[in-house]
């Protein structure tokens, strides 16, 4: 993992965060920190607050109490990009892969500035990084689930983001496409970015994370996979089923 100074050296601090919906506490007392160059999995059952946490970090939901802080190393660091669940995207909108990635660039540079040569070159480079150069002119509706998710990662790169939030990015994506995405995310991690990935897939992905946040409306555990995936923690998350996941080796490290 890269520890050298780099323009993506932001760190993320969540302190005592609570989020409430209609009198219902969706998150309470959530505290954790993530250093630059970390790939963190965010795991927990349905309704645990994973999407709520990402929306709060991204500033899309108000925080009732507590604080979300991006610590900048320099003025180039600290940008945040959010890759949403596929179900929340209107795929009927007729845009190409290039269009979607350019949206990330416009978000970074300003919506009313006409994209220039450097913008187009960066967008093409971002699509190349995620292996989609040959599909740059394809409509999003023509792409597979894994390809769509890689387009959104490319959009995040075009934003020059130091922190990437991916909400169930592997949902409905086949194992081969998952491996391609993991390799991309690990490369971004090695460049000093922070990558937070919410997932239900502990069997295939648990051992690929540097850190894991176990969430069930509050933090049940946070740390390296081999330390947090204990029977006690998994039972807090998933009940008796969680104990079986632990016995099946959810926290085993893969390379």
pLDDT at 121: 92
Cα separation, 189 vs 149, whole angstroms: 17
At residue 139, the 3 state secondary structure works out as strand
User: Which tens digit of pLDDT belongs to each residue from 125-177?
Assistant: 999 988 899 999 999 989 888 888 888 889 888 888 889 999 987 776 777 77
Q: Which residue has the tokens 């894994």?
A: 146
Q: What is the dihedral of CA 35, 36, 41, 45, to 10 degrees?
A: 50
Q: Give burial (CB, 10 Å; 0-12/13-18/19+) of 239.
A: exposed
195 bridge partner residues: 39, 164
- Considering only CA atoms, which of 59, 181, 157 is closest in space to residue 107? 157
Residue 96 in this model has a pLDDT that exceeds 80: yes
Looking at the chain, which runs of residues are DSSP E strands?
Answer: 11-21, 24-34, 38-43, 65-71, 80-83, 163-167, 194-198, 211-215, 219-223
User: Which tens digit of pLDDT belongs to each residue from 2-45?
Assistant: 334 455 668 999 999 999 988 889 999 999 999 999 999 999 99
Output 255 or 229, whichever has higher pLDDT: 229
Task: Give the pLDDT band (50/70/90) at residue 255.
Answer: very low
Cα separation, 64 vs 61, whole angstroms: 9
Which DSSP category does 213 fall into?
E
pTM exceeds cut of 0.85: no
User: Which tens digit of pLDDT belongs to each residue from 57-92?
Assistant: 999 999 999 999 988 655 554 478 888 776 556 667
Q: Give burial (CB, 10 Å; 0-12/13-18/19+) of 22.
A: exposed
Give the range among 111-115, 151-155, 232-236 with minimum mean pLDDT: 111-115
- What is the widest separation between alpha-carbon atoms in the chain? 56
CA-to-CA separations, 189 to 2, 210, 221, in angstroms, rounded: 8, 10, 22
Cα separation, 172 vs 129, whole angstroms: 22
Output 241 or 5, whichever has higher pLDDT: 241
Beta carbons of 78 and 72 less than 8 angstroms apart:
yes
Half-sphere exposure of 134 (CA within 13 A, CB side): 1
């Amino acid at each position: 993992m890269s520890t050298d100074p780099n323009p993506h050296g932001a760190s993320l601090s969540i302190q005592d965060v609570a989020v409430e919906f209609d009198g219902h506490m969706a998150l309470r007392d959530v505290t954790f920190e993530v250093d630059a160059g970390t790939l963190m999995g965010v795991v927990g059952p349905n309704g645990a607050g994973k999407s709520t946490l990402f929306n709060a970090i991204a500033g899309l939901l108000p925080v009732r109490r507590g604080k979300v802080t991006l610590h900048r190393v320099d003025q180039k660091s600290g940008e945040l990009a959010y890759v949403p669940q596929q179900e929340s995207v209107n795929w009927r909108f007729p845009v190409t892969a290039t269009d979607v990635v350019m949206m990330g660039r416009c978000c970074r540079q300003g919506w009313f500035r006409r994209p220039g040569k450097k913008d187009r070159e960066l967008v093409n480079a971002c699509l190349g990084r995620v292996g989609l150069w040959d599909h740059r002119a394809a409509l999003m509706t023509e792409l597979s689930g894994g390809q769509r998710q890689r387009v959104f990662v490319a959009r995040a790169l075009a934003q020059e983001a130091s922190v990437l939030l991916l909400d169930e990015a592997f949902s409905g994506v086949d194992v081969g496409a998952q491996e391609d995405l993991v390799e991309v995310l690990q490369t971004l991690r090695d460049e000093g970015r922070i990558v937070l990935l919410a997932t239900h897939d502990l069997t295939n992905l648990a051992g690929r994370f540097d850190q894991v946040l176990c969430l069930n409306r509050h933090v049940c555990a946070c740390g390296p996979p081999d330390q947090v995936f204990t029977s006690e923690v998994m039972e807090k998350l998933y009940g008796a089923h969680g104990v079986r996941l632990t016995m099946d080796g959810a926290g085993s490290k893969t390379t």
